């Protein structure tokens, strides 16, 4: 058994097993634009014996992994649940103010606009995706990670939102509870649902339900 220095992100357990160790790897699909030494990073997956969560304890710095990543966009990525998610939101909220954390190229927000939602605002740290959302879809997009200053700025600009979304986001954020509490400052009470792919889970914080599902 490997004894990592870090503890389980979910339960704090320090007894984790190495599930698979793939050694030092480059970032998938990020092609070099000129001859240069390629960035690599340890890719090791741990399993928590206590809560069962699989996790990477030593992730790549998000500034490196996401900000210059010109590959994974909603426009071509298969999202088989997209229509159901859109219908689910619209069945609960109409003419609403919607904020999406990690809006990518804005496809989902644009679809919500087409279905009559009143205001759609996004946050996306990746410059390539954010530019598509702004320039081709005309969306208001904050090009940054979610932090306290950005939350304050958004609240000052738009007030509270009826719906805050984070699709395929939480499983990429090491500080999940921070993300949830910060976004909780943007949503009207009892109005928040976050859906992400991965696992099925419930957390109740500030009247917020968080769903992780397979």
Q: Return the number of the residue (24 or 50) whose C-beta is nearest Zn ion.
A: 50
Count the alpha carbons within 13 Å of 127 in the hemisphere toward its beta carbon.
5
Q: CA nearest 141: which of 125, 163, 118, 162?
A: 125
> Inter-axis angle of helices 176-184 and 148-158, to 10 degrees?
20
Please report how close the Cβ of residue 153 comes to Zn ion at its closest, in angstroms.
Answer: 34
Please report how close the Cβ of residue 198 comes to Zn ion at its closest, in angstroms.
Answer: 15
Please report how close the Cβ of residue 170 comes to Zn ion at its closest, in angstroms.
Answer: 16
Q: Return the number of the residue (2 or 148) whose C-beta is nearest Zn ion.
A: 2
> Which residues contact Zn ion (rule: CB under 5 A)?
8, 10-11, 13, 48, 50-51, 53
Q: Return the number of the residue (24 or 54) whose C-beta is nearest Zn ion.
A: 54
Cβ(32)–Cβ(48) under 8 Å? no
Cβ(37)–Cβ(4) under 8 Å? no
Please report how close the Cβ of residue 20 comes to Zn ion at its closest, in angstroms.
Answer: 17
Q: Return the number of the residue (19 or 32) whose C-beta is nearest Zn ion.
A: 19
Q: Return the number of the residue (47 or 71) whose C-beta is nearest Zn ion.
A: 47
CB atoms within 10 A of CB 94: 12
Please report how close the Cβ of residue 58 comes to Zn ion at its closest, in angstroms.
Answer: 16
User: In the sheet that 208-213 helps form, which strands lie side by side, from edge to edge?
Assistant: 193-197, 208-213, 204-205
Q: Return the number of the residue (157 or 177) whose C-beta is nearest Zn ion.
A: 177
Helices and strands counted in the chain (H then E): 6, 10
CB atoms within 10 A of CB 74: 22
Q: Are strands 208-213 and 204-205 parallel, antiparallel or unpaired?
A: antiparallel
Please report how close the Cβ of residue 201 comes to Zn ion at its closest, in angstroms.
Answer: 12
């Amino acid at each position: 058994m490997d004894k990592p220095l870090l503890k389980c992100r979910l339960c704090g357990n320090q007894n984790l097993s190495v599930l698979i160790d793939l050694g030092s790897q480059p970032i998938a699909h990020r092609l070099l634009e000129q001859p240069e030494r390629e960035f690599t990073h340890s890719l090791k997956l741990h399993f928590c014996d206590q809560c069962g969560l699989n996790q990477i304890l030593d992730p790549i710095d998000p500034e490196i992994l996401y900000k210059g990543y010109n590959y994974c966009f909603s426009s071509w990525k298969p999202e088989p649940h997209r229509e159901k998610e859109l219908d689910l939101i619209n069945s609960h909220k109409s003419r609403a103010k919607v904020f999406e954390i990690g809006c990518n190229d804005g496809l989902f927000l644009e679809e919500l606009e087409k279905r009559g939602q009143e205001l759609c605002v996004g946050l996306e740290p990746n410059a390539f995706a954010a530019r598509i959302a702004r320039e081709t879809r005309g969306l208001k997009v904050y090009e940054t990670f979610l932090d306290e200053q950005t939350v304050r700025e958004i609240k000052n600009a738009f007030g509270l939102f009826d719906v805050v979304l984070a699709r395929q986001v939480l499983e990429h954020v090491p500080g999940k509870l921070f993300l949830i509490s910060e976004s909780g400052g943007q949503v009207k009470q009892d109005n928040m649902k976050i859906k992400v792919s991965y696992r099925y889970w419930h957390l109740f914080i500030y009247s917020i339900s968080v769903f992780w599902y397979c």
